[in-house]
Amino acid sequence: MRSLSNFGRCAAWAALLGLLLSAPGVAAFAQTDPMPSWNDGPARKSITDFVAKVTTQGSPDFVPPAERIAVFDNDGTLWCEQPIYFQAAFALDQVKAIAAKRPEWKQQQPFKAFLAGDKKALAEQGQKALLTLVGAAHSGITTDTYARSVAEWLTTARHPRFNRPYNELTYQPMVELLAYLRANGFKTFIVSGGGVEFMRVWAEKAYGIPPEQVVGSSGATKFEFGPDGKPVLMKEPKIEFIDDGPGKPVGINRFIGRRPILAFGNSDGDHQMLQWTMAGSGPRFAGIVHHTDSTREYAYDRESKIGKLDKAWDEAKAKGWTVVDMKQDWKKVFAFEP
């Protein structure tokens, strides 16, 4: 005869077993909101509807996990890009530190603008000029030395408005979105106009995105043997690839080799990436972060030198892509807000 109390104990084991066999991530999400910094609204709903659709086994829109590639622009999409690209702020500090050894820079753009602290002139020269400067300023050092200098800079430099280390200026709702996608079997990538070696230093800690899933612009490197006979990669003053605008689909094809099913950007520099993503077959998601919040962050779009959002916005409206209104859709912009 089986006593009820002992059956009860067995049932408890069985329940525990059942719990272990069910997907723990899904069970947890049923109880806690995976994206607490998003207000209820059409933007949030478009994301969760899309994820539900592509992860429902047996649904005609089901996408196997291996094909759940999600790509995100970085500057202005995952972290702040004002008043200048943060990588430009880094380059400015670095260039100043080594300018004494390079007197000719005083007469050459974009060094001249940098050394004069002329942020307006700098912004006007656009992203390519900034990349040229970064490349030139960091030639003649190894990739390892470069990575160390980025890491050191992040511990000392502060954003001029928020007075925080730059890597604290990531968007909390987007960090939650990245984690939510990964919990649903997506592989998340950065596809940014920024320098790939700059981002890889801090992206894993900031976003949970490992170095091998960061696609970006790059300078040339050269394999050499250092004075100690050990091999090094020397950074050369030559831009090799600009991962911006039409370069983004090219970069996605080169580095990832699969067409994403979800892409998020914030500017016309992301337009072609969004178009490329949406042109594939099956379910697709295109999202744009619209900077509408001058109180908590910044407000800019069609007229901005940095992060100009014009043509991509028009296409988003025409085609029903998701446009996130930072002011309306986000409870919080930065994690450090009260």
Interface residues with a second copy (CB under 8 A)? Answer: 1-3, 6-7, 9-10, 13-14, 16-17, 20-21, 66, 69, 143, 187, 189, 196-197, 200, 204, 210-214, 218, 221-223, 230-231, 233, 246-247, 249-250, 253-258, 272, 275-276, 279
Report the distance separating Cα 255 and Cα 227, nearest Å.
33
The least distance separating a second copy from the CB of residue 220, rounded to whole angstroms, comes to 8
- DSSP per residue, 203-225: HHHHHS--GGGEEEEEEEEEEEE
User: Are the C-beta atoms of residues 111 and 95 closer than 8 Å to each other?
Assistant: yes
Give the CA diameter of the chain.
Answer: 96
The least distance separating a second copy from the CB of residue 233, rounded to whole angstroms, comes to 5
Q: Which of 257/320 has CB closer to a second copy?
A: 257
The least distance separating a second copy from the CB of residue 191, rounded to whole angstroms, comes to 12
The least distance separating a second copy from the CB of residue 40, rounded to whole angstroms, comes to 34
Report the distance separating Cα 255 and Cα 287, nearest Å.
21
Report the distance separating Cα 148 and Cα 135, nearest Å.
16
Q: Which of 107/281 has CB closer to a second copy?
A: 281
Q: Which of 197/301 has CB closer to a second copy?
A: 197
| Burial (CB count within 10 angstroms: exposed 0-12, middle 13-18, buried 19+), residue 22 | exposed
SS (H, E, C) 25-78: HHHHHHHCCCCCCECCCHHHHHHHHHHHHHHCCCCCCCCCHHHCEEEECCECCC
Q: Which of 117/208 has CB closer to a second copy?
A: 208
The least distance separating a second copy from the CB of residue 226, rounded to whole angstroms, comes to 9
Report the distance separating Cα 56 and Cα 30, nearest Å.
15
Q: Which of 9/302 has CB closer to a second copy?
A: 9
The least distance separating a second copy from the CB of residue 302, rounded to whole angstroms, comes to 23
